[in-house]
Structure 1
Amino acid sequence: MEDESRNSTETMPVLMKQGAEAKLYKSTFYGKPCIIKERFTKCYRHPSLDKSLTAHRIKSEVRALLRCRMNGICTPTVYFTNMENSSIYMEEIEDAQTVREYIQHVQAKESNDTANNILKPLGVKVGEILGIMHSNNIVHGDLTTSNMLLRGNPVELDVVIIDFGLSHFENFAEEKGVDLYVLERAILSTHPNTEDFFQTILETYKKYNLKSSAEVVAKLDEVRLRGRKRTMVG
């Protein structure tokens, strides 16, 4: 029997991007535009260990995508997984820009105060999403403004979270605090004068993760302190 993914992929996959863990291809799946994420073999690992770890990462990523959707968070629809070639076939989010691109566009056009006011509703939406994710013990693992898409009109705040390749399920505040820290560093290092934007995210996060937000934010402060000490030591 021929591979189902080969039968259903109607156009030749086109390589879009290669990262440290996987290659991304653009293709179609039963006529629908799709993205194929193919994890590649790590030659420095024993083949059986590499196969086992890769399978675990794929399963974790698919579970995170599905659990997010079950809790009302927009993520790409998973169409098919092919464990033989370590691939996930998922929905291509069309008519979208990254949150990174949107923030840069707003900041290029507006003064700092005006830009902060325009971006505040987006901060509220992102904080809501992260609060729901963490309250359901979903840790993204690589939160950046490049891994958030704004679909359609940015004013409608249709935010889609992507790239769950490092995701895992964790109830410990430390892991969630690190998740927020990664996002904070990504925002502040990429987008100048966005301290208020991240504060909006954090304040909204607390409202949507009532059960553990106090402990998570305390851990965030600890992680920040450790990060500053590493910077001072060099």
Structure 2
Amino acid sequence: MAELIQQGAEAKVFALSFYGRDAIAKERFPKTYRHPILDKKLTARRVVQEARCLFRCQQAGIDTPTVYFIDTNLNTIYMERIEGRTVKSFLIEHSGNPALVDDLAHKIGKALAALHGINIIHGDLTTSNLFIRDSNQSLVLIDFGLSYHSSLIEDKAVDLYVLERAFLSTHPNSEVMFEKIVQVYTKKSRDGKQIFAKLEDVTVKEPCHK
């Protein structure tokens, strides 16, 4: 029996059992403003693209949910259900523990450098889309619904910028942690210095809102 556990702008997520394994089913729903035939093609393409990004991450040793099955007729991906907690909830509970926060920042920086190293842009990096496994405390990247392939320095910088905005809006006084993430990322990434420079450029150009 499938249980709806989340609904976003692009998809519904259900918890269920898939051939005896705890799983989730991510179902993209139709966009009514598009022509039905075009919508079906575009949605199926997005489902396949998301699954490919997840598969490429696993090939590269990046911890992401294992894909079990893709149903392009129903626009649904069946994948591993991660037993763990979000980085968001972890930081809310452990923000006062510098050692734990520093260790987590190192894991995030390393994982994002590896992700961009295979030219995958996540597209929606937030502390809710980063998980910590209960079993081994591994950092897991989830929700690749907006992901795509790109080798552009600008795209990788924007990916980091989105995460920076998420930290600032959700976790007060997290500037030091994000700086640590960027330090590790820059050290581990082949194009780290260029990406960091572009990130600073993006940040400087951010419009001011009164």
Structure 2-normalised TM-score? Answer: 0.96
Look up the match of 1:216. Answer: 195
| In 2: Cα distance, 1:66 partner to 1:150 partner | 19
Deviation at 1:90, TM superposition (A): 0.3
Q: Secondary structure at the match of 1:45?
A: coil
Q: Secondary structure at the match of 1:146?
A: coil
Look up the match of 1:4. Answer: none
Look up the match of 2:11. Answer: 22
| 2:63 equivalent to 1:74 | yes
Determine what percentage of the aligned residue pairs are the same residue.
47
Q: Name whichever structure is richer in helix by fraction.
A: 1
What do the CA deviations read for 1:102-157 (whole angstroms, capped 9, x no partner)?
000013xx3xxxx334300110011000001111101100001100111116xx54
Look up the match of 1:120. Answer: 102
Deviation at 1:48, TM superposition (A): 1.8
Look up the match of 1:88. Answer: 77
> What is the total number of aligned residue pairs between the two structures?
210
Aligned pairs for 1:6-85 (under 5 A) are 12-85=1-74
Deviation at 1:207, TM superposition (A): 1.7
Look up the match of 1:166. Answer: 146
What do the CA deviations read for 1:45-83 (whole angstroms, capped 9, x no partner)?
111221121112111111110111111111111000101
| In 2: Cα distance, 1:188 partner to 1:157 partner | 24
Q: Name segments (4+ residues, structure 1) moved above 4 Å.
A: none
Deviation at 1:21, TM superposition (A): 0.1
* Structure 1 unaligned spans of 5+: 1-11
Contact 1:61/1:164 (CA < 8 Å) preserved in 2? yes
| In 1: Cα distance, 2:160 partner to 2:12 partner | 26
Larger radius of gyration: 1
- CA RMSD between the two structures: 1.2
| In 2: Cα distance, 1:34 partner to 1:44 partner | 31
Contact 2:44/2:73 (CA < 8 Å) preserved in 1? no
Look up the match of 2:164. Answer: 184
Contact 1:27/1:34 (CA < 8 Å) preserved in 2? yes
| In 1: Cα distance, 2:154 partner to 2:43 partner | 25
